[in-house]
Amino acid sequence: MSAPAKLGAVVLTMGNRPEELRALLDSVAKQQGEAIEVVVVGNGSPLPELSVPGLTVRTVELPENVGIPAGRNVGIEAFGPGGREVDVLLFLDDDGHLPGQDTAELCREAFAADPKLGIISFRIADPDTGVTARRHVPRLRAADPMRSSRVTTFLGGANAVRTKVFAEVGGLPDDFFYAHEETDLAWRALDAGWMIDYRSDMVLHHPTTAPSRHAVYHRMVARNRVWLARRNLPAPLVPVYLGVWLLLTLARRPSPPALRAWLGGFKEGWTTPCGPRRPMKWRTVWRLTRLGRPPVI
């Protein structure tokens, strides 16, 4: 019998939620099974003293905010190139916490049972209401958040990734800064033959907030959507995918300032470098389609 998977965790913080960060680390320390080593990355901020009983916490302080994907990549590399010091890395938002003490063990069991499972997306639930927002269920048919399934993307602040995935396809796209970096990694992982599961029984409690609270939201969402397509889709699908998202955005009737920001980001996505282009195979397009989310939406 092989040894249980060794787990690490990466937590990215801007230093503005010290009490929530402490609660998260306490919840990681309470996980059943072998202790999880944690790397906390201060993204442009100093870190407080983070001594937690039963938990080994390493810290990295970055002199400036490098964005979410680049910050998480720093956390990955803190576990050695591609995170190779561990078998699986958890990525957890600093204002969330794990309500169950068996989440780590469930991760170990899931990865041991399926050698092709590369990524697990946890269910995010509001700590007060228990409600999971539709946007936190990473599939089109999101009405039932309690249904686990295979999916085509995952949630950035509540997931587990087999480090072999990073070794094979690389890390998150640094230049995205914020938005769609998970889908970029997901598409590359699926193209390499890995699978992604959404697990409703692996829960991160996280307060319900609107993503549009971020000042850069509309611009980044649009720019990175274009970059995502340019980097990953076969050429005939790029205009289809982006045309669909343009129509969906207009149908949602954003406010004039939001629409201007979105259109500015859309233009920026076409006129700025997007990084290396590695279009997915057509059989990956078919796999995405069979999983319920063809890469045109």
Tally of CB atoms within 10 A around 62 = 15
- Which position has the token pair 């078919």? 286
**What tens digit of pLDDT does each residue of 55-82 get?**
999 999 999 999 999 999 999 999 999 9
213 — pLDDT class (breaks 50, 70, 90): low
Residue 215, pLDDT score: 60
216 — pLDDT class (breaks 50, 70, 90): confident
Residue 214, pLDDT score: 54
Helix, strand or coil for residue 45?
Answer: coil
Strand order in the sheet with 37-43: 57-62, 37-43, 7-13, 88-93, 158-162, 117-125, 195-205, 149-151
Average pLDDT of the segment spanning 237-256 = 96
CB neighbour list of residue 2: distance below 8 Å, 6 or more residues apart:
112
Arithmetic mean of pLDDT over the chain: 96
Give the domain ranges of the chain: 7-209, 216-290
Indicate whether 209 pLDDT > 90.
no
The one-character DSSP state at 280 is P
Among the residue ranges 112-116, 192-196, 251-255, 267-271, the one predicted with the least confidence is: 251-255
Indicate whether 2 pLDDT > 80.
no
The CATH number corresponding to 7-209 among 3.90.550.10, 3.10.20.30, 3.40.50.720, 3.60.150.10 equals: 3.90.550.10
Residue 210, pLDDT score: 73
Indicate whether 205 pLDDT > 70.
yes
